[in-house]
């Protein structure tokens, strides 16, 4: 439930409400605004009636949260969450959509990685992405360079100024990844790894959470809820395709509709990954355009300096020349959307 205090509520009034909630086993989160103080109450609402809370001095209104994902819901927070980095880059709200590009796996070829990073900087991208620890379907496939890859990413950051995005697979590597990364990625396979979600929930780093290939939107948002419940509200969602019944032409089914649905029901920013969403490089451009039109806060794409020799996901990676061609079009599209007040920039009707 959400408890809205009166404008003239005293500190003692607020403390009384907080104490009552804690007495009944609720986790109470206090938000002190310029006009009203709001308290998020997370717990079993059957143990404490709305009437009892409303009867307390200083309480203006008690509102039920209809969504199972309470912290991520627009019932709890109507305005968009905006995640800001130390260099001023922002994700969410009406800010310009961000670009996260780089190889699926960081390989033992720093010069190749740097070529991608330099091209990304040239095209106005904000993030360099790359896997250091790679979850692979086969145990015989390349599974990453570990810390060496993290050092390569960090070195490229120092040379280009790009922020680093990389995947965390195990909570035991959290401190190591935090040392090098600006944005921690939780991959699709780990979307419901609740111990891992709890761990990143207790760190002070933004997290990009990918949707699992067989998970509903509600399950996706509840996974984000686990991170937020443990204290980290800096969550970016990522739609990267779900499993369908026809894999003849695409790796996954790119669920474009999930983007406006999530924007309607959640305040968290959401980006799209058409590389994993389709598994085909020729589909990256049209699906990126579609994602931007329906309101994506950013695009994540795999780019490799030589996709034909990539150790993972070369088929869904753009070459540097292809990347420049596609992203010059995406930048133009973003300018048109902003000018015409479409998609990302349109007035948003709240729930």
Domain locations along the chain: 2-63, 83-345
Q: What is the mean pLDDT of residues 317-344?
A: 88
Name the pairing type of β-strands 2-5 and 59-63.
Answer: antiparallel
User: Contact 227/220 with Cβ under 8 angstroms?
Assistant: no
pLDDT of 34:
78
204-261 pLDDT tens trace: 999 999 999 999 999 999 999 999 999 999 999 999 999 999 888 999 999 999 999 9
Q: 20-32: per-residue pLDDT in tens?
A: 999 999 988 888 8
Per-residue pLDDT averaged across 175-184, rounded?
97
What integer is the mean pLDDT of 48-57?
A: 92
When pLDDT is averaged across residues 133-148 and rounded to a whole number, the result is 81
Give 129's strand partners.
Answer: 165
Question: Is the model's pLDDT at 267 over the cut of 90?
Answer: yes
CA distance 100 to 97: 10
Mean pLDDT score, 93-99: 95
What is the band of 341 on the pLDDT scale with cuts at 50, 70, 90?
A: low
Instruction: Count, in order, helices (H) and strands (E) of the chain.
Output: 11, 14
Mean of the pLDDT values across residues 88-106? 96
> In angstroms, what CA-CA distances link 201 with 184, 219, 272, 341?
11, 17, 22, 35
Residue 157 has pLDDT above 70, yes or no: yes
Q: What is the mean pLDDT of the chain?
A: 92
Q: For residue 336, report the phi and psi dihedrals to the nearest 5 degrees.
A: -65, -45
Query: Cα separations (Å) of 296 from 212, 238, 256, 293, 345?
Result: 18, 9, 9, 7, 10
- Please tell me the distance from the alpha carbon of residue 202 to that of residue 227, in angstroms, as a whole number: 8
340 in Cβ contact with 293 (< 8 Å): no
Radius of gyration of the chain (CA): 21
Biggest CA-to-CA distance, the chain: 69
DSSP assignment of 258-284, as one string? Answer: HHHHHHHHB-S-EEE-HHHHHS-GGGH
Its CATH class, for the domain covering 2-63, is alpha beta
Q: Indicate whether 203 pLDDT > 90.
A: yes
Here the tokens at position 295 are 């309101």
Q: Please report which helix (H) or strand (E) contains residue 334, including its range.
A: helix 320-340
What is the arithmetic mean of pLDDT over 164-179?
Answer: 96
pLDDT > 60? residue 15: yes
Is the model's pLDDT at 143 over the cut of 80?
no
Q: What is residue 351's predicted lDDT score, i.e. its pLDDT?
A: 34
- pTM value is 0.86
Give the pLDDT band of residue 270 (cuts 50, 70, 90): very high
The answer to whether the beta carbons of residues 259 and 229 sit under 8 Å apart is no
pLDDT of 344 strictly over 70? no
pLDDT at residue 343 above 80? Answer: no
What local confidence, expressed as pLDDT, does residue 243 receive? 93
φ/ψ of 233, rounded to 5, equals -100, 10
At residue 185's C-alpha, the angle toward residues 179 and 187, to 5°, is: 140
Residue 259 — left, alpha, or beta (φ > 0 → left; ψ -120 to 50 → alpha)? alpha
pLDDT band at 342 (very low <50, low <70, confident <90, very high): low
Residue 163 is encoded by which pair of tokens?
Answer: 């922020």
Cβ distance 320 to 281 under 8 Å?
Answer: no
Residue 29: phi, psi to the nearest 5? -115, 120
Mean pLDDT of 297-324: 96
Element (H, E) at 84: strand 83-84
C-alpha distances in angstroms, 51 versus 62, 77, 147, 320?
9, 23, 55, 62
pLDDT at 48 over 80: yes
More confident residue, 63 or 19: 19
Could you tell me which CATH class the domain 83-345 is placed in? alpha beta
Rounded mean pLDDT, 167-194: 96
Q: What value does the mean pLDDT take over residues 48-54?
A: 91
Residue in this structure with the two tokens 């809370």, named with its chain if needed: 53
Helical pair 110-122 and 320-340, crossing angle rounded to 10 deg? 30
DSSP symbol at 106: -
CA distance 35 to 5: 10
Backbone angles phi, psi at 28, to 5 degrees: -110, 125
């Amino acid at each position: 439930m959400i408890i809205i205090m009166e404008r003239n509520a005293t500190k003692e009034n607020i403390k009384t409400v907080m104490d009552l909630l804690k007495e009944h086993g609720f986790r109470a989160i206090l938000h002190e605004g310029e006009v009203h103080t709001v308290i998020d109450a997370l717990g079993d609402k059957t143990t404490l009636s709305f009437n009892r809370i409303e009867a307390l001095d200083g309480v203006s209104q008690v509102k039920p949260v209809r969504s199972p994902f309470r912290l991520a819901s627009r019932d709890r927070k109507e305005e968009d969450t905006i995640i800001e980095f130390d260099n001023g880059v922002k994700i969410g709200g009406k800010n310009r959509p961000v670009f996260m590009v780089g190889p699926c796996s960081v390989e033992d070829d720093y010069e190749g990685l740097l070529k991608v990073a330099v091209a990304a900087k040239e095209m106005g991208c904000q993030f360099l992405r790359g896997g250091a620890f790679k979850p692979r379907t086969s145990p015989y496939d390349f599974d990453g360079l570990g810390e060496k890859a993290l050092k390569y990413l960090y070195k490229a950051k120092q040379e280009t100024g790009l922020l680093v995005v990389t995947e965390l697979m195990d909570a035991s590597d959290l401190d190591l990844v935090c040392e090098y990364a600006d944005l921690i990625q939780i991959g699709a396979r780990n979307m419901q790894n609740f111990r891992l979600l709890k761990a990143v929930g207790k760190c002070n780093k933004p997290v990009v959470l990918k949707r699992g290939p067989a998970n509903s939107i509600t399950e996706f948002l509840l996974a984000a809820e686990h991170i937020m419940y443990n204290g980290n509200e800096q969550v970016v969602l990522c739609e990267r395709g779900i499993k369908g019944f026809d894999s003849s032409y695409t790796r996954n089914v790119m669920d474009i509709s999930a983007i406006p649905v999530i924007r309607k029901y959640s305040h968290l920013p959401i980006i799209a990954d058409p590389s994993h969403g389709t598994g085909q490089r020729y589909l990256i451009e049209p699906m990126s355009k579609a994602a931007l039109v329906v309101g994506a806060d950013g695009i994540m794409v795999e780019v490799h300096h030589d996709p034909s020799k990539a150790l993972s996901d070369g088929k869904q990676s753009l070459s540097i020349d292809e990347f420049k061609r596609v992203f010059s079009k995406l930048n133009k599209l973003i300018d048109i959307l902003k000018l015409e007040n479409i998609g990302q920039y349109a007035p948003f009707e709240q729930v």
